Amino acid sequence: MADVNLAAPADEAAIKQLLSEASLPHSDLTPQHLTHFIVARSRSEQRIIGTVG
């Protein structure tokens, strides 16, 4: 199971890592962009397992 929430500035590194692992563009991602992102976190580990933005 996962919890879905708005992304926070503290999520920037984890989001960039996830996008990088998926070979998706992320080099121009800034904290200001995160206001348009949501994240899915695993309930057991509280790590980001998905994002959209």
pTM: 0.88
**DSSP reduced 3-state for 46:** coil
29-53 as b/e: b if 16+ CB within 10 A: beeeebeebebebeeeeeebeebee
Task: Give mean pLDDT, residues 40-47.
Answer: 94
Q: What is the pLDDT of residue 51?
A: 96
Q: How does pLDDT run across 13-42, given as a tens digit for each residue?
A: 999 999 999 999 999 999 999 999 999 999
Domain layout of the chain by residue ranges: 2-52
Instruction: With CA atoms as reference, report the closest residue to 53 among 18, 2, 44.
Output: 18
